[in-house]
Amino acid sequence: MNAAAPTARQAWLLHGSLLLVALVFPFVFSSSFAVNLGVMALFYAFIGQSWNISGGFAGQLSFGHVAFFGAGAYAAAIVQMRWGLSPWVGLPAAAIAGGLVGGIIAVLSFRAGLKGSYFALITLAFAEVLRILANSVDITGGGLGMLIPAKPGAANFQFPERREFYFLMLLLTVGSIALALWLKRSRFGARLAAIRENEDAAKALGIDVFREKVKVMVLSGALCGIGGCFFTQYYLYIDPSIAFGMDKSVEMLLVSMIGGAGTVYGPLIGSVLLAVINESARALTTIQGLSLVIYGVLLVIIIAMLPNGLVDLFRRKPSAKADAKGGR
């Protein structure tokens, strides 16, 4: 891979110690405030990873990932509120809804040959269409949103303790990181990297670029949809601007870009950092907006100076990929 790639043993040591830290965190910091912070950090690492899989690994920049998130969030709410099914059915339903929306947007956009900035902008427009639809049709409850009645109990996917949500979110995040690790090593991941670096060259190598891009958008959409389902169950409320608001698309992009797009741990690093910034800003001042000001500056600096994100700071030597990118 690259010069600084850790040996297999070092890598497992890293995964293991991170997991250990994550496992003991809610016991060491057991206040409901701290656990909630942990849940949110993991949640953003998870949806950030879903963005990273298409935006980072495959290089398909999206400004509208919230389309998949919202589709999943509403799918989860609809199966239990409108169809009377178990909230747990919401989990696969959300994955299917997110994957479906991802697939439809991908087929339409890639069929039309949209790339780069144009793809980013059209995803934004699709998310906006979904927001307006959710605001207008009956099944989503329109602008009022959907309030899910509180029925605490594991059978209802509602845990009385935040710590239980924490462990569920940890499980999901570990799964998303495992998926990213697999992508790094699999043939599919290699094809995506080829597409990211040079689409024409990838085509010349015989890669079915259209198919691979649609596949990765379905995968990313399904993952993001699961994030939406979790969000619905955690807050028991969803409305059009929460589900399809642009701010969440931007946050997914930010955690992934700032941590390191196209890297396995980038979204986690980004989301932990942003959680820390968020809470420090809140501790320092009651003025809104400070933490996002910092993110905005960070984004500009990262694009300008660390194209691989903060992950680069943890590497001993600049990776081969960073060199190739810097040379352009």
**Residues 212, 218: Cα–Cα separation, whole Å:** 10
- Number of shown-chain residues binding another protein (CB under 8 A): 45
Q: For residues 94 and 214, which CB has a smaller minimum distance to another protein in the complex? A: 214
Site residues for another protein, 104-143, by CB under 8 A, read 108-109, 111-114, 116-118, 120-122, 124-126, 128-129, 132-133, 135-136, 142-143
CB of 174 to another protein, least distance (A): 29
Alpha-carbon separation of residue 46 from 4, 160, 271, 283 (angstroms): 26, 22, 9, 25
CB of 60 to another protein, least distance (A): 10
- Taking alpha carbons only, the member of 130, 18, 19, 9 closest to residue 65 is 130
**Residues 223, 90: Cα–Cα separation, whole Å:** 13
> Of 96, 100, 104, 292, which lies in the binding site for another protein, with binding defined by CB under 8 A?
292
Binding mask 45-84 for another protein (x = CB under 8 A): ----------------x-x---------------------
- Degrees to nearest 5, angle at CA 38 with 95 and 226: 0
- Taking alpha carbons only, the member of 128, 113, 68, 56 closest to residue 95 is 68
Site residues for another protein, 179-208, by CB under 8 A, read none
Residue 324 engages another protein in binding (rule: CB under 8 A):
no
- Taking alpha carbons only, the member of 149, 169, 136, 36 closest to residue 87 is 149
**Residues 169, 203: Cα–Cα separation, whole Å:** 38
Binding site for another protein (CB under 8 A): 61, 63, 108-109, 111-114, 116-118, 120-122, 124-126, 128-129, 132-133, 135-136, 142-143, 246, 250, 253-254, 257, 287-290, 292-293, 295-300, 303-304, 328
